[in-house]
């Protein structure tokens, strides 16, 4: 795949140079061709899925927009959503349900042959499917006019910086940018370069080095589970997945910014959250807002009483967990967050507390804010054990070491390395939280930002971790 190799940056450079020599219509055609090349590089056969989905969605959206007949409009909506979710369900979850059913039969001592068809997962299908569903639903609810140009809509779906792992772009945010002329802005161009440099630093220095520690702990290389191994593995994976996915998002946003597009911010210092609700306002924002607007609210949100609100929270987070992958570990991960959100809501209502970020409350003391942050961070880390483990049994095996107090010198070395590679990202988050910018040093003059980007690149070259770790969210 192009994104995790230097080939991507050669590819991006060639596209950007040609892009700014063209007018808007030519730019869109160039980007669409480049996006399909980018996607087809991995397996050209999966291009047919995007092409079929794009053409059906485009036609259904116009049929919905032109018709006042409720039956016709709903039928077109069902066809579009059904096709997209059908593709997603078949390719992502077919093996999962077949294997789960086979395991159930095995527990009942019913013989079953191991003949399940192993279906290859198209890259990025979870991300572009959610974008397509958001588009058709917005058109159906008359919040958005359908794209007049098939090229414009196809580019909205397949624009290569966000195609493989997001951020999931809202139609009302990105589609108007695709339809409008882009003007070269040297200041935004510099900002894009800095975002790319920051993303590479997060991925290659933070995530890849923390991955070495997380893999050693979860794969048994540090010995049988005990409290130290659990702490090393869990903390390391927490910073690995954050550095990995936020790094990808920064590279995607920076790449888009080089071509005059603005992608939504996907992370806002999530490990500084003071509640689970606050965490989901900061973590994978493009997914959390999608789940809120297109699933939670559609289920009824908080409009039909407390019990149904708790049910809707659990359902949303369980499905959000399953969206991440075809494994029961992701369902448990989503269930932990759903239960936590429900408990938070119950406690807030019982004690009359406002559902706001306590860090921004004038009455919140420094100590109470940091105690809340530490508690939420560890609750999130508990859920990461299930996210990282290969099975439910493996997750509980890892957690079984919590009461086993063992210490060897190698653990001290591992903790020192963990602090060395996570502390820079933690300090960057503290600085960003204080300054309130989209990315660190956004407000500096262009030349100073260029100097910051060069410093990040030098640090990336010096402290680069393992080159074998692809972006985690490529598998989703």
Q: Catalytic amino acids? A: 324
Residue positions counted in the chain: 476
Q: Is 147 helix (H, G, I), strand (E, B) or coil?
A: coil
b/e map of 453-465 (b: 16 or more CB within 10 Å)?
Answer: beebbebbeebeb
Q: Is 363 helix (H, G, I), strand (E, B) or coil?
A: coil
Query: Measured between alpha carbons, how far is 319 from 335 in angstroms, rounded to an integer?
Result: 9
Query: Measured between alpha carbons, how far is 238 from 221 in angstroms, rounded to an integer?
Result: 19
* CA 150 to each of CA 146, 147, 156, 305: distance values in angstroms, whole numbers, following the listed order: 10, 7, 10, 43
Query: Measured between alpha carbons, how far is 242 from 421 in angstroms, rounded to an integer?
Result: 12
Handedness of CA 254, 20, 179, 436 (dihedral sign): positive
What lies within 8 Å, CB to CB, of 464 at 6+ separation is 204, 205, 208
DSSP string, 428-476: HHHHHHHHT-SSTTTTS-HHHHHHHHHHHHHHHHHH---TT---GGGG-
The answer to whether residues 379 and 340 touch, using CB atoms and an 8 Å cutoff, is: yes
Which H or E run contains 44?
Answer: none
The answer to whether residues 64 and 140 touch, using CB atoms and an 8 Å cutoff, is: yes
Tokens of 390: 């290969």
The answer to whether residues 57 and 136 touch, using CB atoms and an 8 Å cutoff, is: yes
Tokens of 115: 């003949």
Total H helices, total E strands in the chain: 19, 0
Which H or E run contains 45?
Answer: none
Closest listed residue to residue 414, CA positions, set 243, 244, 214: 214
Angle ∠(19,27,245) on CA atoms, nearest 5 = 75
* CA 315 to each of CA 134, 278, 306: distance values in angstroms, whole numbers, following the listed order: 19, 19, 14
Tokens of 295: 């699933």
Query: Measured between alpha carbons, how far is 269 from 429 in angstroms, rounded to an integer?
Result: 5
The answer to whether residues 231 and 286 touch, using CB atoms and an 8 Å cutoff, is: no
């Amino acid at each position: 795949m192009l994104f995790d190799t230097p080939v991507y940056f050669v590819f991006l450079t060639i596209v950007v140079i040609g892009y700014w020599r063209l007018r808007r219509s030519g730019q869109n055609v160039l980007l669409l061709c480049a996006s399909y090349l980018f996607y087809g590089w991995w397996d050209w056969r999966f291009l047919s899925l995007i092409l079929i989905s794009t053409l059906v969605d485009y036609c259904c959206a116009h049929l919905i927009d032109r018709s006042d007949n409720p039956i016709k409009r709903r039928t077109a909506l069902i066809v579009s959503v059904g096709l997209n979710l059908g593709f997603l369900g078949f390719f992502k979850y077919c093996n999962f349900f077949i294997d789960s059913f086979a395991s159930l039969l095995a527990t009942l001592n019913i013989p079953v042959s191991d003949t399940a068809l192993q279906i290859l997962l198209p890259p990025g299908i979870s991300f572009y499917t959610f974008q397509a569903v958001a588009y058709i639903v917005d058109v159906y609810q008359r919040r958005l006019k359908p794209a007049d140009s098939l090229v414009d809509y196809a580019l909205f779906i397949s624009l290569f910086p966000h195609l493989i792992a997001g951020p999931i772009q809202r139609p009302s945010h990105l589609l108007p940018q695709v339809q409008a002329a882009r003007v070269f802005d040297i200041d935004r161009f510099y900002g894009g370069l800095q975002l790319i440099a920051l993303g590479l630093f997060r991925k290659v220095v933070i995530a890849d080095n923390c991955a070495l520690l997380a893999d050693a702990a979860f794969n048994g290389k540090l010995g049988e589970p005990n409290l130290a191994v659990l702490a090393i593995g869990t903390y390391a994976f927490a910073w690995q997945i954050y550095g990995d996915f936020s790094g990808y998002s920064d590279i995607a946003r920076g790449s888009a910014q080089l071509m005059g597009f603005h992608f939504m911010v996907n992370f806002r210092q999530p490990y500084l959250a003071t509640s689970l609700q606050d965490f989901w306002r900061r973590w994978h924002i493009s997914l959390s807002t999608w789940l809120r607007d297109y699933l939670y609210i559609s289920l009824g949100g908080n409009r039909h009483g407390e019990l149904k609100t708790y049910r809707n929270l659990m359902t949303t987070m369980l499905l959000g967990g399953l969206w991440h992958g075809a494994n029961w570990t992701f369902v448990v991960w989503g269930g932990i967050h759903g239960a936590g959100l429900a408990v938070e809501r119950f406690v807030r209502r019982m004690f009359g507390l406002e559902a706001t970020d306590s860090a921004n409350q004038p009455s919140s003391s420094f100590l109470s804010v940091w105690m809340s942050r530490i508690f939420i961070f560890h609750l999130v880390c508990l859920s990461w054990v299930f996210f990282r483990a290969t099975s439910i049994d493996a997750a509980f095996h890892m957690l079984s070491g919590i009461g086993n107090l063992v210490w060897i010198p190698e653990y001290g070395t591992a903790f020192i390395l963990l602090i060395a590679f996570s502390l820079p990202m933690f300090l960057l988050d503290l600085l960003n939280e204080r300054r309130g910018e989209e990315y660190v040093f956004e407000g500096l003059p262009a030349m100073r930002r260029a100097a910051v980007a060069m410093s990040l690149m030098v640090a990336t070259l010096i402290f680069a971790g393992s080159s074998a770790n692809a972006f985690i969210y490529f598998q989703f």
